[in-house]
Each structure stands twice: as structure tokens, then as C-alpha cells.
Chains A and B, each alone.
Chain A
Amino acid sequence: KQEVTQIPAALSVPEGENLVLNCSFTDSAIYNLQWFRQDPGKGLTSLLLIQSSQREQTSGRLNASLDKSSGRSTLYIAASQPGDSATYLCAVKPRIYSGNTPLVFGKGTRLSVIA
């Protein structure tokens, strides 16, 4: 059964620092991996989607990489700002059968950027 782990569970950094959030998954048979942001009491906002054939995706100050063979993904945030404070979740879509297989989520990393 696919499992997704995010370490650390919480992270606090000073403003301006570049940082990396980690995501690992146990089964490399995936269609894609998606990174989300969640603010307290809100829904999840999609940040980046990486297909299994891709190595990375970039959006603004965010860069996500995927190493499917080792079961790892990283989310790099450049020049962090207090507005980046949120919980970041990663999720993989298992390659079980065709169709819209439900994603498997990690528990998230809670990021605090201190001004």
C-alpha cells in the first residue's frame, strides 16, 4: 500500500531564507505528484503538479522536483516571506489502474516564516 511521508512535521525559518520541504513515497508506480498549500481553516490550493515523466516544475519562487526511482520529491521555496506561512502537503496518484485513482496524501509540513 502506498504511503507518503513528510519530514519535518513543522519548520520555522527567518524571512528571506531559501528552504526545502521533503516528501517521500513508498511505491514508485505513480502517475503524478502534486504539492498543495493549506492555510488554517481553509481548503487546499494546488501549487505544482509533476507528471511521472517529468523531473521538475517551477512556478514563481517555487520549484518542485521528482525522483521517482528513489521515491522522493522536494519543494524548494526561494527567498521565503511571512506570507508563505502555511501547511504544505504532497500527494501521489498511485498507478493502480486507469482512471482517476484517489490521491494518497502526506500529513504535511507546517511552515512558519518569521519576519
Chain B
Amino acid sequence: DGGITQSPKYLFRKEGQNVTLSCEQNLNHDAMYWYRQDPGQGLRLIYYSQIVNDFQKGDIAEGYSVSREKKESFPLTVTSAQKNPTAFYLCASIGRVGPDGELFFGEGSRLTVL
């Protein structure tokens, strides 16, 4: 089945460590997005990529990094510079080239800093 796969589902990190969250899609979508979700704050955009080898910062990019070497993959690294990384992270992709596509989400990864 086509879809967006995020891994791991749960991740624990010690302070000072970098961690990488995986996002893979087999929908042949060009654009991919990373959102962070905190209780009571809604979804906030971290980074997005409209095409391979290109990405743009979202509203809260500080302390995060991404790469887009393949169309199917958009990994997110949470670096030690991110001061409050405990959150639920959601990856998404959009269904067609142009402005009117439908956004689809993965199941999310929950990161906890110990």
C-alpha cells in the first residue's frame, strides 16, 4: 500500500545527543514537510522541501536540519542545539505538483529527552 512511513515511533534521547527521524514515502510526491506538535500549540512547520536537493526553513527551524537526496526520503535531525526537543513529530507530503494537492501524513514519531 502507498503511504508515508515514519520511524522510529518512539525515541528517547539524552541531552546533548543528535537524533535522526526517518520519513519515507512511496506516493511519488514531490513536496514533503516536517511539523512539530506540542499540546495546546497545534502544528508548527519545521522544514519543507518542494523538490529533491532543495528545502526551506519553516517557522521553527532552529536546532533542526534536513536533507532531501532522494524523492522518497526526507529525514529530520534534531540536534543538541534544539533546547526543548521533546515533542510529537509529523512528516507529510502533498499529492500533486501545483497548488491544489491534498496533504497526507505519516503516523508520527514521539521524541522524549531524558
Contact = CB atoms under 8 A, between A and B. Distances in A.
Contact of A100 (B41, B43, B50, B107): B50
Contact of B90 (A34, A43, A100): A43
A94 B100 CA distance: 11
B108 A41 contact: yes
Q: Report, as a range, how many residues of chain A touch the other chain.
A: 20 to 34
Interface residues of B, number: 31
Dominant secondary structure of chain B at its interface with chain A: strand
B30 interface: yes
Contacts of A98: 98-99
B92 to A, nearest CB: 8
Given A41-B108, A41-B110, A44-B105, A95 B40 contact: no
Contact of A102 (B6, B42, B45): B45
Given A98-B99, A100-B101, A44 B42 contact: no
B66 interface: no
Contacts of B6: 43
B99 A93 contact: yes
B64 interface: no
Interface of A: 31-32, 34, 36, 41-46, 49, 51, 89, 91, 93, 95, 98-103, 105-108
B23 to A, nearest CB: 11
A27 B99 CA distance: 16
A43 B103 contact: no
A68 to B, nearest CB: 14
A36 B103 CA distance: 10
B11 to A, nearest CB: 14
B50 A108 contact: no
Given A42-B108, A43-B90, A44-B90, A99 B99 contact: yes
Contacts of A41: 88, 108, 110
A105 B43 contact: yes
